[in-house]
Amino acid sequence: MSHPEIEKRKTFAIISHPDAGKTTLTEKFLLFGGAINTAGTVKRNKANQSSTSDFMEIEKQRGISVATSVMGFEYNDKRINILDTPGHKDFAEDTYRTLSAVDSVILVVDSVKGVEEQTQKLMEVCRMRNTPVIIFINKMDREGKDTFDLLDELENELKISVCPLSWPIGQGHTFKGVYNIYNKQLNLFKPDKTKISEPVIQVSDLQDETLTQFLQAKELSQLKDDLELVDGIYGSLDKEMYLEGLSAPVFFGSAINNFGIRELLDTFVSIAPSPKSREANEREVIATEKGFTGFVFKIHANLDPNHRDRIAFLRICSGKFERNKFYYHTRTNKKLKFSNPMDFMANEKSLVEEAWPGDVVGLYDSGNFKIGDTLTEGEQLQFKGIPSFSPEIFKEVENRDPLKSKQLEKGLQQLTEEGVAQLFTQQPGNRKIIGTVGELQFEVISFRLEHEYGAKCAFRMLSYRRSSWLSSKDKKNINEISSRRHSNIATDKDGNAVFLADNDWTLNVAKRDFPDVDFHATSEFNRS
């Protein structure tokens, strides 16, 4: 049985390679949704304004999105929840986790650069869960790759079939707007970067005479030829294929000039999935079930520099969340209630009385939560889908101020529970090793340790290049590899054994020497 509140929800993330225009698109969605009045600009463009979705101090300084934030708005009777993701590749893991909390994804591709390495990685994560993907090809106002070549590249590089639902008229300096294939409508605009411009002309028939006032005969015939070709090659949208994550609708536009945004947003609202079901270790949880369930996919510290607060972001999976009601925290076996849960509408936080599947609420946290924690009304459940991936850079933490070792320890524990990086502990001596995907995280960690915890540290580069999580049917096999290869063994934040390898060769030798031990590329595998 469907529920009107659940059907209303469209919860998705916008993902992209750095600089493909993700922040701009997020902002334009908020603009079209009426959540903000004029589009702001990211700090690097103007000295005094910073974009609505960039929170932390270090982000303001660097002009990059490090933290994922949530923005909600109402549009066409739907409640749209956008989960913004860090564009910078060093924060890929934060993006992977955010993807566990959404029902679909909009992937932004730069028309000049085409598919980039990180775009492929993000697509692989979407494929792990068969997340439905819509592709937005941005920057059509620049001289970029040929449109048909771009579509071929998407199919080949991302290994997904595509179906264009809008089509550009011209490109670069000749770009005039887009034709909406999905509902056969043509809107031509004058570019306007800060507010929504009214269309110069709206027609639903390409034979319409008035078009000749705005498009040259050559442009019009080119558009008709292109559309015929598109129809011949790609046909019309198979909605089931899209919902199963097998086919990606494609839109063209220029986020900065507001071209092609409404076409994308209107179609998204009409075809994107509402919350359905989620896999837990114990069973599948359906969104329309009566009992409340949800999981924490992100923890964000010190949103307000004046208060030492942490906010846990909880994605609601089923039932209804209510303020001041006791919920069961399945990992710690505790009952918790939340007197001031937060709702995020653009940059405004407000108190939420109730929330529904698909919504994300912010819970003030004094240290109860870790990423991946599940809340229920009493049932013992653990949602799947928040894996740790192998870091690429490993460094040992060296304490620079012995009097502050407690603060350092606490800071490291909290930052890794937040998911800024992974923490491994090695014996003897309780050595702390931080693993990250990129160098930038070490900057963030030392900045935050010093400014939030008053601890100073240095990092010493280690030769490890990857981590594998270990499991075995018999615990003595883990004990054996731990004693024989102790210089490669560490434990992660949850106490699981991890093998740290310098290269593939070391890893393969270990696999050969210990055939009864299973080596896993991510932390998520069946431990039973």
Reading the chain (528 residues) residue by residue, the pLDDT tens digits are 568 888 999 999 888 877 777 778 888 887 877 755 554 433 333 333 444 444 445 445 544 444 447 788 888 888 888 887 765 565 566 777 788 889 999 999 988 888 887 788 788 888 878 899 999 999 888 888 889 999 999 999 988 999 999 898 888 887 878 888 887 877 776 666 665 555 566 666 666 666 766 777 788 888 888 888 888 888 888 999 999 999 999 999 888 887 888 889 989 999 999 998 888 888 899 998 999 999 998 887 655 555 556 788 899 999 999 999 999 999 999 999 998 888 876 556 678 888 899 999 988 887 788 888 899 998 888 887 666 777 889 999 999 888 888 889 888 888 887 777 889 999 888 899 999 877 888 888 888 888 888 889 999 999 999 899 999 999 999 999 998 998 999 998 888 899 999 999 999 999 999 999 999 887 765 443
Does 305 lie in the same domain as 248?
A: no
Q: What letters, b where the CB count within 10 A reaches 16 and e where it falls short, cover 216-229?
A: eeeebeebeebbee
On whether residue 382 sits in a domain, the answer given is no
d(CA 427, CA 490): 7
Last residue of a domain, one of 215, 242, 274: 274
Domain that holds residue 139: 4-274
On whether residue 421 sits in a domain, the answer given is yes
Q: Residue 372: left (phi > 0), alpha (psi -120 to 50), or beta? A: left
On whether residue 145 sits in a domain, the answer given is yes
Angle at 280 between CA 277 and CA 286, to 5 degrees: 25
d(CA 12, CA 509): 42
Q: How many CA atoms lie within 13 A of 130 on its CB side?
A: 12
Q: Dihedrals φ, ψ of 297, to 5°?
A: -110, -5
The closest alpha carbon to 28, from 9, 17, 18, 42, belongs to 42
* Number of folded domains that form the chain: 3
Please, are residues 83 and 106 in contact by the beta-carbon 8 Å criterion?
no
Does 496 lie in the same domain as 411?
A: yes
On whether residue 526 sits in a domain, the answer given is no
Does 337 lie in the same domain as 360?
A: yes
Query: What is the pTM assigned to this prediction?
Result: 0.78
Coil, strand, or helix at residue 321?
A: strand
Q: Residue 115: left (phi > 0), alpha (psi -120 to 50), or beta? A: beta
Amino acid at 323: R
Does 187 lie in the same domain as 165?
A: yes
Last residue of a domain, one of 216, 244, 274: 274
Does 324 lie in the same domain as 257?
A: no
